[in-house]
Amino acid sequence: MSLTSDKQSKHTKLVAGGAIAVPLALVAVISAAANLRAGISSLGAVLEQVMASFQAPASVAGVLTAMPGFAFAIMGLAAVPIARRFGLSFTLFAGMVAMLVGLAFRPLIGAYVPGGMVTFIVLTALVVGGIALLNVLLPAWIKQHAPRCSVLLMSCYSGFLGLSGAVAPLSALWFSGEDAWRPALGIWALLAATQVVVWILVLTRVGVDKPRKPPVAQPTNSGTERATIPGTTGTAADSAPAVVANKIASTSLWRSPTAVAMMVLFGLQSSNAYVQMGWLPQMYIDQGVSPGRAAVGLAVLGTVNVIGGVSMPFLVARIRDLRPVIVVFGVLTTVGYLGVMFAGAAAPEAWAIVLGLGGMCFPTILALLAARTRTPEVTARLSGFVQPYGYLLAGVLPLLIGFVYQATGAWTLILTVMALTGVGMSALGYRAGKKVFIDDELAR
């Protein structure tokens, strides 16, 4: 083979972005996943101190706690087009650099670096935007570069993501003093710097790795696609006209009651997650709980979420009817908020556990994305519908809470509304968990 053809072959391999060594993939995924919640949940534990330091009103705290939902919605739509332009690994690396800049400079604002609350918000947007970018693209990176060990890597991804959210609030306990929030937030820049170093090595191995497009369905000799049609046992060529398959592909998911129920359910559950990460410590503190114990409560909630993230996918695969399960999660969410309202100071860790159990609804919803569709194409469409719109909805509630808390200075109305979201989750979960296929609804 000539030298020219060798170079072309090497370039083609880099552009394709093939598999990399399993140890490097493992370190890369763990280093990235360990950063996916720290920048968010660490802020919730010191939110009161940050607001006091900048003399900012509660409405600004609402903006900060709403950012994750809006960022996840935006990146859910924008991440893949960006990756197709610049490559998966480079796009992920850019998100990591944005996280590092935000985490490193955010604690310095007002003390060592000029700026105020607006600058703090901008840097927080960098952190949250980077996290959202990784959250969307890291599973695709695993699928492309380490398909043979994807189960192991996705388990590490889920586990370390949850661990990140559980451990990060505890940094509020490691420092003391009026400006203790600065090192409590800044320490996570060290973890972000580690992932940047690891992914520099990844970039040297994979080159330009644009995400692979799914194969286009090929028509059969009779001019119809070989695709299973909902409600039949054969193929489009054998048992139904191709127009039915085309109708499924062209019908908006807004026409599917199950898809809409899943989207709103996803939004409500995600709203609860961001309210808890951003506001739960403050709810406890206002009832007389010490800031340290309030941070522990948030860490306990995160620990329960880790357990749920690891265990629920296995349980979902073995449960035939998910409706009672989701209803129970909604009830637990309602009970948790009522407990915080009436006895938050008496047992903050206990109510955190109850809320964490209610949060197990999240991995259950993700499992439903595949369980309520017949084909990978509809599954992909459903995910692209449920998550961006759901996250957009998820950003609204934390934002409104900031304004209501600023106006009232109390949690009674807010906790009442949050308790009602649990009722809504139960109702929507009963509908979303119904044994129907979205493909069938689109074909009508």
Distance from C-alpha of 117 to C-alpha of 416, rounded to nearest angstrom: 30
Extract long-range pairs of 227-236: CB within 8 Å, 24+ residues apart. Answer: 227/375, 228/374, 228/375, 229/443, 230/374, 230/437, 230/439, 230/440, 230/443, 231/440, 231/443
Per-residue pLDDT of the chain (444 residues; tens, 9 = 90+): 444 444 444 433 333 456 688 899 999 999 999 999 999 999 999 999 999 999 999 999 999 999 999 999 998 888 888 988 998 899 999 999 999 999 999 999 988 888 899 999 999 999 999 999 998 888 888 888 888 888 788 878 888 888 999 999 999 999 988 899 999 999 999 999 999 999 999 999 887 777 665 444 444 444 434 444 444 444 444 455 566 567 777 788 898 899 999 999 999 999 999 999 999 999 999 999 999 999 999 999 999 988 887 788 778 778 888 889 999 999 999 999 999 999 999 999 999 999 999 999 988 888 788 778 887 778 778 888 888 899 999 999 999 999 999 999 999 999 999 999 999 999 999 998 888 888 888 887
Closest by alpha carbon to 177, among 261, 272, 53, 288? 53
Helix and strand totals (H; E) in the chain: 20, 0
The torsion angles phi and psi of 85, rounded to 5 degrees, stand at -85, -40
Extract long-range pairs of 383-388: CB within 8 Å, 24+ residues apart. Answer: 384/76, 385/253, 385/259, 385/263, 386/259, 386/262, 386/263, 386/266, 387/72, 387/76, 387/266, 388/72, 388/73, 388/76, 388/77
pLDDT for the residue 230: 46
Is 100 in contact with 192 (CB distance < 8 Å)?
Answer: yes
Paired with 228 in beta bridges are 235
The ranges assigned to domains in the chain are 18-211, 235-444
Distance from C-alpha of 113 to C-alpha of 120, rounded to nearest angstrom: 11
The torsion angles phi and psi of 339, rounded to 5 degrees, stand at -65, -45
Distance from C-alpha of 214 to C-alpha of 226, rounded to nearest angstrom: 16
Distance from C-alpha of 318 to C-alpha of 312, rounded to nearest angstrom: 10
Closest by alpha carbon to 53, among 100, 104, 108, 123? 108
The torsion angles phi and psi of 109, rounded to 5 degrees, stand at -65, 130
Distance from C-alpha of 301 to C-alpha of 349, rounded to nearest angstrom: 8
235-444: in CATH 1.10.260.40: no
Distance from C-alpha of 312 to C-alpha of 343, rounded to nearest angstrom: 29
Q: Which CATH architecture has domain 18-211?
A: Up-down Bundle (1.20)
- CATH topology match: 18-211 vs 235-444: yes
Which residues have CB under 8 Å from 145's CB, separation 6+? 17, 18, 19, 20, 25, 206, 209
H or E stretch at 234: none
